[in-house]
Amino acid sequence: MNRHPVEIQIAKADKAIIAEDFDTLINIYTETAVLVVEPGRTVQGRDAIRKAFEAIAQYFKNGLQVKQNGMTILESGDTALVHANTVISAPNLPETERKAVYVFNKTKDGTWLCSIDNSYGNDIVKN
């Protein structure tokens, strides 16, 4: 079964996060991408996302692990919505599964880039 190009991008991003290869990582995001750092706190743009990931790497003792435990992709035109069970762990964090949501947009050259990265899913909803 062929993997969806978005799934391949997510696998590449996970590998880059684990390797702390932030050059590769930020190029998987659009120029105006939004990253939810924690509920109530977002950063926008590649530079800000790089800084956030550098801080996250440090926070997790340079030992953050990320993997996907199932995902479903819905595609409409140049937009794709990803629901994923994202499992993270680190020296100071036992395995934790998040109901993550990612939005990807297809660029003119056919590459899918992440425009919205919310690993917290519905936890960010304010009542």
Number of Cβ within 10 Å of residue 126's Cβ equals: 5
Q: Does 110 bind a copy of itself (CB under 8 A)?
A: no
Of 82, 120, 70, whose CA–CA distance to 5 is shortest?
A: 82
Binding pattern for the stretch 46-75 against a copy of itself, x by CB under 8 A and - elsewhere: -----------------------xxxx-xx
What's the CA gap between 81 and 96, in Å, rounded? 22
What's the CA gap between 58 and 13, in Å, rounded? 18
| Encoded amino acid at 2, one letter | N
Helix, strand, or coil (residue 29): strand
Using CB under 8 A, pick the residue from 10, 46, 116, 119 that binds a copy of itself: 116
The span of 3-11, 13-21, 46-54, 80-88 binding a copy of itself (CB under 8 A) equals: 80-88
Using CB under 8 A, pick the residue from 49, 84, 88, 90 that binds a copy of itself: 84
Q: Does 111 bind a copy of itself (CB under 8 A)?
A: no
The span of 10-18, 49-57, 59-67, 115-123 binding a copy of itself (CB under 8 A) equals: 115-123
